[in-house]
Structure 1
């Protein structure tokens, strides 16, 4: 097919994706703002936030991954023009997300003692524990919010999540200034202040999303008739059958990067701080293709609902192409500015820690170069996963991501990071390997599956 067949879909892709991207950037900025503000306190504090967040990110990946099951089901119901089916998915999704948010908080709270047995510097562990309690609690409103957001996304109304996340960020930044550094009657809380700001801002985000959707005539019919007695086994089982593999897909990737945090911490505080800087930047750019992934999931779900698999394949490939272009641009920016970006996260005026800061910058600049290379692989794997979720194909992709990240990627990270002179750089070479294998085999899965679907419907 001609390139124009795919590029003419860009406008619709971007229209659907840009609010999701802005919302995700807002969500990611919560962590980046914490890193920047806490980083000004010193490398030890930054490493502690990194360690605590590594636990939370694992739980968050499970919650957000599970909630993505709601979007393709809503998109399919929307394509079928079925209010009854859409309302059932919405109600069941909210109940399951609430239960999951509470469960994830409880699991992290009980697992907290494990931090002391992970080979991390003791001063980092001592600072991380109280921070972890608060940030883990913020998972409850966050996962419930995801239930609302995935529903709205599935209805192709992506701006609500964007505004909610942006509001969350504004509130979060204001509260961070107040609680981290102290303001008026509020005492200086240091890094704990960042955790307090995260909790409050995420509750604000949830409340806003609920009333924003409920107040719109388009969504009011979906809120009618909600009752726990109406929650049945069939729809619960359907959402779980899609949500659990999707959660594990996201878990395998996030856990891979979390493993990189732990490996870096075992090398030293400066390596862990450098890893967190590079990871923050890579996560920021990843949000752009994550937005495209959700757009792909919605549009593929719509096409599945009307059984137009030829158009489905064109739509998906147009999103793959757009993702490669976006990530290629960011990769170029990383190469050009790799020596300057780490300085944004450190206090250059802190002469006491000048040596540590210089070491962090030197390590981080090398990691950013590797991150520049795997931008393409990371972008391709996430948008193809989105398309496969739109097709409600989640089990085989789950196995692909497990093998790519944990049978191939992480062992390479362990060997190169701990047993060669590459250290932190070697850890990131392992990340690159896992992402590249995932991108290749996920695309092959999508290509073969859609070919069969087209042939079956001829």
Structure 2
């Protein structure tokens, strides 16, 4: 056997071992994040399910209000998402002072965003009627937003702590807290919606009161758990976590602003599509709300994989291990797509049964909404594959330090391809809400393809530009 053949076989064996080693590291970090994401999305799922007992109009109003709230919440979360990557890099360098300063910087930007977005939500509600929305739905959505808006602050504070602990690879406390929040949400929703123990029945607004309460208590509980954790407490109580550090504040801003723009672009894409669907009628808006919530549940799997892959890529990049960066990115994308396939089978096999969990079939007026949403699930079976791929694409590019690229790509994929396609198919071609959903799928597919291509090109460029890059991979940490 020639020397060349032996070398090739060894390289192939080393490559296979590299792939095998990275799956446990990736899934080990992603799994608690996915569980936490599931528990977190259960909060809004509980809201939608319980509002379904009140009727399609209440679901439509809450869906409109939550679309606006989530638009800004996602934007603010994007600004502090970079805290996790920056903390991971500082942890590798064993720079504890930097970690504390980054925590303070994250709280600073979360507070600024929370205050500004709260004011924006209070002002924008009444203007929705100018965008072709049903006046009755707008009135109810405005009442909902008036109560929900202040919850933006504790919600973003919680997200900052979440990315901080993820960067330290200790996301465990999140799961228990979020599970407790789900139980609390169910109890408070029932209590405040229907009234008990001397409290009046607040109906739709009761769900908003419960949501804000849970946001605040979740943040306080998370902070308390960190203070009791011997490994995390020193960072939270460090003088650097209570002191202005201009460099850390600017670092979070520089890394987080493009991420925030990308998240805002994605959330804005879905929000505008929701407004477009709302112009087609109350039933269409109710169907959009339920479909978005169902897809959002599955989206949490790819969100967990995306964050985990991003953190591992940041670590590998810090070591100059560009081969490991490439493999982690491709592996994360593959796992994200694989996870959506069993769910797609369920969508195709029993769409009406799934929708009936959110909208009881026996409730008057729900039959048409159930049928419409069930049709949407057939489209979502394919759509969520591309949604997972583009979400992970954002994370793996962010892990390489490129946050501006995903923003530019989102403008092309969502706004120049997806939105026009949704309008042309849904309105111009007369396909209605099904056409909007099909256009949304086209936009997500284009975005996923562009992001993966950009990731591979960036890794190749970084490898060429890094002298002395390692030939073999270190064990994943």
Q: TM-score range by the shorter chain?
A: over 0.9
How far apart, in 2, do the equivalents of 1:226 and 1:147 lie?
18
**Distance verdict in 2 for CA 1:173–1:4, change over 3 Å:** farther
The 8 Å contact of residues 54 and 258 in structure 1, kept in 2 or not, is answered as yes
1:296 aligns with 2:309: yes
**Distance verdict in 2 for CA 1:228–1:166, change over 3 Å:** closer
Counterpart among 450, 456, 470 of residue 447 in structure 1 = 456
Counterpart for residue 140 of structure 1: 153
1:388 aligns with 2:388: no
Counterpart for residue 251 of structure 1: 264
Counterpart for residue 71 of structure 1: 84
Counterpart for residue 428 of structure 2: 419
Counterpart among 311, 317, 333 of residue 320 in structure 1 = 333
How far apart, in 1, do the equivalents of 2:36 and 2:202 lie?
28
The 8 Å contact of residues 100 and 240 in structure 2, kept in 1 or not, is answered as no
The 8 Å contact of residues 80 and 306 in structure 1, kept in 2 or not, is answered as no
Structure 1 length-normalised TM: 0.95
Structure 2 length-normalised TM: 0.92
The 8 Å contact of residues 355 and 370 in structure 2, kept in 1 or not, is answered as yes
How far apart, in 2, do the equivalents of 1:193 and 1:448 lie?
50
How far apart, in 1, do the equivalents of 2:134 and 2:334 lie?
43
Post-superposition offset of 1:330: 1.6
Post-superposition offset of 1:429: 0.9
The 8 Å contact of residues 7 and 318 in structure 1, kept in 2 or not, is answered as no
Unaligned runs of 5+ in 1: none
Question: After the TM superposition, which residues 352-431 of structure 1 pair with which residues of structure 2 at under 5 Å, given as runs?
Answer: 353=364, 356-431=365-440
The 8 Å contact of residues 125 and 141 in structure 2, kept in 1 or not, is answered as no
How far apart, in 2, do the equivalents of 1:299 and 1:396 lie?
19
Q: Deviations over 1:357-395 (max 9, x none)?
A: 221112111111111101211111111211111122101
The 8 Å contact of residues 6 and 314 in structure 1, kept in 2 or not, is answered as yes
Counterpart for residue 197 of structure 2: 184
How far apart, in 2, do the equivalents of 1:119 and 1:222 lie?
49
Counterpart for residue 23 of structure 1: 36
Matched pairs, number: 454
How far apart, in 2, do the equivalents of 1:266 and 1:197 lie?
29
How far apart, in 2, do the equivalents of 1:84 and 1:309 lie?
28
Counterpart among 425, 428, 432 of residue 441 in structure 2 = 432
Counterpart for residue 62 of structure 1: 75
1:204 aligns with 2:204: no
How far apart, in 2, do the equivalents of 1:293 and 1:76 lie?
17
The 8 Å contact of residues 361 and 370 in structure 2, kept in 1 or not, is answered as no
How far apart, in 2, do the equivalents of 1:251 and 1:428 lie?
19
How far apart, in 2, do the equivalents of 1:73 and 1:359 lie?
49
The 8 Å contact of residues 75 and 305 in structure 1, kept in 2 or not, is answered as no
How far apart, in 2, do the equivalents of 1:160 and 1:246 lie?
25
How far apart, in 1, do the equivalents of 2:265 and 2:180 lie?
30
Post-superposition offset of 1:43: 0.7
How far apart, in 2, do the equivalents of 1:250 and 1:37 lie?
28
**Distance verdict in 2 for CA 1:229–1:369, change over 3 Å:** closer
How far apart, in 2, do the equivalents of 1:379 and 1:227 lie?
37
Counterpart among 105, 122, 126 of residue 139 in structure 2 = 126
Counterpart for residue 248 of structure 2: 235
1:104 aligns with 2:117: yes
How far apart, in 2, do the equivalents of 1:181 and 1:227 lie?
47
- Quick check: which has more Rg, 1 or 2? 2
Post-superposition offset of 1:7: 4.4
The 8 Å contact of residues 328 and 375 in structure 1, kept in 2 or not, is answered as no
Unaligned runs of 5+ in 2: 1-11, 470-477
The 8 Å contact of residues 42 and 347 in structure 1, kept in 2 or not, is answered as no
Post-superposition offset of 1:175: 0.4
- Aligned-partner SS, 1:183: coil
Counterpart for residue 162 of structure 2: 149
Q: Deviations over 1:395-428 (max 9, x none)?
A: 1111001111011101111121122231000001
Counterpart for residue 83 of structure 1: 96
Post-superposition offset of 1:108: 1.3
Q: Deviations over 1:163-193 (max 9, x none)?
A: 2222221211110111112222222111111
Moved more, 252-261 or 405-414: 252-261
The 8 Å contact of residues 17 and 158 in structure 1, kept in 2 or not, is answered as no
Q: Deviations over 1:280-302 (max 9, x none)?
A: 11000000110011101111111
Post-superposition offset of 1:10: 2.2
Post-superposition offset of 1:305: 2.3
**Distance verdict in 2 for CA 1:216–1:373, change over 3 Å:** same
The 8 Å contact of residues 77 and 305 in structure 1, kept in 2 or not, is answered as no
How far apart, in 1, do the equivalents of 2:311 and 2:396 lie?
8
